[in-house]
């Protein structure tokens, strides 16, 4: 083992992703400087188990306080009586809801993976572990959305216990109100997976699923909501269901909650209250402009007629340019990071025809609409004009060097850094 090597690799990663690349992965983000510094705290090595003030472990009084504060913050921001911040991730939040609703297995309807559904909604993912049968919701390619009439017929035929909306490739809000009516007709619970759009919801740029009629939402806390990696469940359901979901979280799925994320998640929530609207507005404006720029460059952007997107994401069909795998690999050579993605017309997850692009992180680095024009040009240099990725990489480096400061969040100064380090006895 070699300590120097460990540090070398880690710092190489930090520099590459923060200085050299244009990161357009739609599910990622960077925390604010203050949140990031507070992420380094003693709780990283501690245990909880149970709920605040009713823990199995001792020594949790300050963790209890943070968990209560964070729960109350999400409760008031989302209008949810029930909030659980203990799931470690969006996937575990989903599994807890599935199990809470269907402790003995059952049937759920969800968006197909090719149409944006996440692997945790897919029959081969978490549902399989819980013996839950997944039936795919019908999809309308024109609208790039769920086919509501088809969904009603399917629900009447299948009588599911749960309907899951929300997606990983998520361009336009799913019809939550309409599907809530369907859920009521067949006696199902409606869950909206808000992982991708939580920051847009809190910034007022995407409908709040709970106000639209979802019984529950699940989420990650690190995509458009730019906090530490974590999970969240929120909603307005009866006490029995709430209890059943809580028990699925603990003792079902997690034992310690990685509670060192609570303080930086709280900081992020406060930042969203202060800057969330500007951030969400700029993010969606940037995504629309990037969609337009890529379209003008001759790329097959999805949903042209619908204005490309109403979220942080843009999807491009690159089947005429070697497919998603090849296109994303070429872009990475140019230090433009995107991921390959299935599109609704794809048959194989192994050969996706699309790439998915998210602009939430570059928006936090300070990019605006004009910069999106340039990002579009850089992408087209690689994918349309076939320029040598190494040459594009030089342009990317020059461009990226102009965006050194994270916006829409609290800064950190030496005094705070000193307090953090000395509170940990590191200084």
Ligand X SMILES: Cc1ncc(COP(=O)(O)O)c(C=O)c1O
Choice between 91 and 145, CB closer to ligand X: 91
Options 193, 310, 317, 346; binder of ligand X; rule CB under 6 A: 193
Choice between 174 and 289, CB closer to ligand X: 174
What torsion, rounded to 10 degrees, do the Cα atoms 352, 354, 359, 365 define? 70
**Site stretch for ligand X (CB under 6 A), options 188-196, 205-213, 302-310, 381-389:** 188-196
Q: How far is CA 69 from the centre of its chain?
A: 22
* Using rule CB under 6 A, residue 231 touches ligand X: yes
**Site stretch for ligand X (CB under 6 A), options 16-24, 65-73, 163-171, 369-377:** 163-171
Choice between 168 and 244, CB closer to ligand X: 168
Binding mask 23-52 for ligand X (x = CB under 6 A): ----x-------------------------
Binding mask 106-135 for ligand X (x = CB under 6 A): ------------x-x---------------
Residue 272: Cβ within 10 Å count? 25
Choice between 168 and 282, CB closer to ligand X: 168
**Span 83-102, contacts to ligand X by CB under 6 A:** 89-91
The residue count for binding ligand X (CB under 6 A) is 14
Options 174, 196, 205, 356; binder of ligand X; rule CB under 6 A: 196
SS3 assignment for the chain: CCHHHHHHHHHHHHHHHHHHCEECCCCCCCCCHHHHHHCCCHHHHCCCCEECCEECCCCCHHHHHHHHHHHHHHHHHHCCCEEECCCCCHHHHHHHHHHHHCCCCEEEEECCHHHCCCHHHCCCCHHHHCCEEEEECCEECCCCEECHHHHHHHHHHHCCCEEEECCCCCCCCCCHHHHHHHHHHHCCEEEEECCCCHHHHHCCCCCCHHHHCCCEEEEECCCCCCCCCCEEEEECCCHHHHHHHHHHHHHHHCCCCCHHHHHHHHHHHHHHHHHHHHHHHHHHHHHHHHHHHHHHCCCEECCHHHCCCCCCEEEEECHHHCHHHHHHHHHHHCCEECEEECCCCCCCCCCCCEEEEECHHHHHCCCCHHHHHHHHHHHHHHHCCCCCHHHHHHHHHHHHCCCCCCCCCCCCCHHHHHHHHHHCCCC
> Closest separation between CB of residue 59 and ligand X, Å?
28
> Closest separation between CB of residue 112 and ligand X, Å?
13
Which of these, 246, 253, 198, 251, lies nearest to 220 by C-alpha position?
A: 198
Choice between 110 and 382, CB closer to ligand X: 110
Choice between 228 and 376, CB closer to ligand X: 228
Choice between 302 and 380, CB closer to ligand X: 302
Options 113, 220, 256, 286; binder of ligand X; rule CB under 6 A: 220
* Using rule CB under 6 A, residue 162 touches ligand X: no
Choice between 25 and 406, CB closer to ligand X: 25
Choice between 25 and 63, CB closer to ligand X: 25
Binding mask 164-183 for ligand X (x = CB under 6 A): --xxx---------------
Choice between 221 and 286, CB closer to ligand X: 221
**Span 302-331, contacts to ligand X by CB under 6 A:** none
* Using rule CB under 6 A, residue 268 touches ligand X: no
> Closest separation between CB of residue 229 and ligand X, Å?
6
* Binding residues for ligand X (CB under 6 A): 27, 89-91, 118, 120, 166-168, 193, 195-196, 220, 231
């Amino acid at each position: 083992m070699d300590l120097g090597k460990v540090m070398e690799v880690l710092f190489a990663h930090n520099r590459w992703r923060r200085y050299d690349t244009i990161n357009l992965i739609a599910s990622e983000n960077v925390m604010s400087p203050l949140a990031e510094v507070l992420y380094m705290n003693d709780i990283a090595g501690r245990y909880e188990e149970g709920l605040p003030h009713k823990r199995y472990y001792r020594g949790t009084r300050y963790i209890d306080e943070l968990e209560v504060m964070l729960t109350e913050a999400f409760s008031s921001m989302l209008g949810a009586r029930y909030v659980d911040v203990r799931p470690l991730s969006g996937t575990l939040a989903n599994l807890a809801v599935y199990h809470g609703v269907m402790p003995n297995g059952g049937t759920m309807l969800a968006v197909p993976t090719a149409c944006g559904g996440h692997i945790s909604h897919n029959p081969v993912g978490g549902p399989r572990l819980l013996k839950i049968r997944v039936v795919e919701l019908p999809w309308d390619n024109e609208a790039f959305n769920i086919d509501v009439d088809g969904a009603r017929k399917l629900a009447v035929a299948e009588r599911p216990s749960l309907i899951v909306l929300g997606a990983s490739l998520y361009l336009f809000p799913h019809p939550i109100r309409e599907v809530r009516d369907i859920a009521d007709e067949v006696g199902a619970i409606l869950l909206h997976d808000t992982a991708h759009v939580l920051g847009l919801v809190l910034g007022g740029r995407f409908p709040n699923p709970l106000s639209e009629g979802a019984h529950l939402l699940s989420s990650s806390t690190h995509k458009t909501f730019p906090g530490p990696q974590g999970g969240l469940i929120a909603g307005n359901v009866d006490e029995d269901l709430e209890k059943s979901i809580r028990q699925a979280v603990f003792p079902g799925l997690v034992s310690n909650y990685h509670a060192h994320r609570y303080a930086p998640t709280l900081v992020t929530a406060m930042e969203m209250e202060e800057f969330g609207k500007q951030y969400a507005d700029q993010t969606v404006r940037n995504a629309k402009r990037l969609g337009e720029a890529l379209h003008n460059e001759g790329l097959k952007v999805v949903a042209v007629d619908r204005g490309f997107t109403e979220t942080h994401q843009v999807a491009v069909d690159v089947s005429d340019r070697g497919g998603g795998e090849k296109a994303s690999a070429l872009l990475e050579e140019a230090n433009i990071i995107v991921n390959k993605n299935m599109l609704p017309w794809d048959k194989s997850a192994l050969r996706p025809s699309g790439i998915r692009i998210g602009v939430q992180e570059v928006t936090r680095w300070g990019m605006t609409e004009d910069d999106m024009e340039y990002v579009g040009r850089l992408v087209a240099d690689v994918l349309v004009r076939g320029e040598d990725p190494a040459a594009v990489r030089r342009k990317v480096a020059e461009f990226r060097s102009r965006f050194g400061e994270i916006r829409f969040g609290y800064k950190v100064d030496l005094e705070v850094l000193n307090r953090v380090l000395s509170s940990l006895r590191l200084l």
